[in-house]
Amino acid sequence: MSRVLVIDDSPMLLELTVRALTAAGYEAIGAPDLATLNQKLTEGPFALILMDVNMPEMFGDDVVEYLRTVKGVTSKLVLYSDISEQELEAKVKNSGADGYILKSGGLEGVLGGVMGLIGAPAPAAPATGSGGLPKAPMAAGGRKPRILIVDDSEMTARIIEADLVSKGFEVHVADTADKATKIILKKQTRPDLVLLDVRMPNVNGEQFCRFIKSNSLFKGIKVLLCSGENVEELQRICREAGADGYIPKDAVMGNLVAKELMPPGAE
């Protein structure tokens, strides 16, 4: 498995980037500072090191030079920042880095950049009853179970999407109820389950859940509310909108959804 080390002093960005890379199939590890970076380097080689430019202790391009000349690191070294692309290109040239990734490109930009530099991760071994990723149960007709993620946060949706795709699900994403409706209306994209954010602009999750549950055409679709709302509020919405349940956004999405889609009695 390709190993990637991510260095960023922002705890939120560090966690999201590591989670996205892990969901895509890489062995991703995070380091919030230079002390942790030095410690991680002793744990084995990395195919790529993603280095935030604006670190409090030392600029990322200086760290690149340090890793090359002092530590003798042979990994791909990539600068990661929200500064202008022109400035970032100059830092890459001066430091000897192998490339750069713009933070403005979001997690999709990170995944695309990493794949472009070290290739796609090797596919995970099929699940065999113990260890490894859970294998998605087959839906009716022998196809993959189909999940629709409805969330106006692209970052959240893409993290969940990458995790579920890696576990064998067919996943569609919509950032509004209107786009989600178009996906549900088409038989070839109609989901078995909808992961529905509660707080969205225009038509919110509660209203959209009612729409799905009141339409006989969609009677086979399960709806799980996926939200950071408090438990009491989620329970109320589940009762009043007819949702099949709820899961917190910070839960392990893939395992919970896989369990939800398992036929009764399946282990």
Task: Identify the band that residue 261 occupies on the pLDDT scale cut at 50, 70 and 90.
Answer: low
193 by DSSP, 3-state: which?
A: strand
Mean predicted confidence (pLDDT) in 186-201: 88
Looking at the predicted structure, is the pLDDT value of residue 267 above 50?
Answer: no
What is the set of domains in the chain, with CATH numbers? Answer: 3-118 (3.40.50.2300), 140-261 (3.40.50.2300)
Task: Identify the band that residue 147 occupies on the pLDDT scale cut at 50, 70 and 90.
Answer: very high
Mean pLDDT of the chain: 81
Dist CA 193 CA 191 (whole Å): 5
Dist CA 18 CA 16 (whole Å): 6
Residue 44, CA distances (Å) to 5, 29, 193, 203, 266 in order: 11, 12, 41, 49, 39
List the Cα angle 14/15/21 in 5-degree steps. 90
The model's pLDDT over 27-50, given as tens digits with 9 standing for 90+, comes to 999 999 988 999 999 988 999 999
HEC sequence for 99-152: EEEEHHHHHHHHHHHHHHHHCCCCCCCCCCCCCCCCCCCCCHHHCCCEEEEECC
pLDDT at residue 250 in the model: 54
Nearest alpha-carbon partner for 73 in 61, 81, 65: 65
Looking at the predicted structure, is the pLDDT value of residue 254 above 50?
Answer: no
pLDDT at residue 264 in the model: 45
| Residue carrying structure tokens 């794949």 | 115
Nearest alpha-carbon partner for 76 in 116, 49, 42: 49
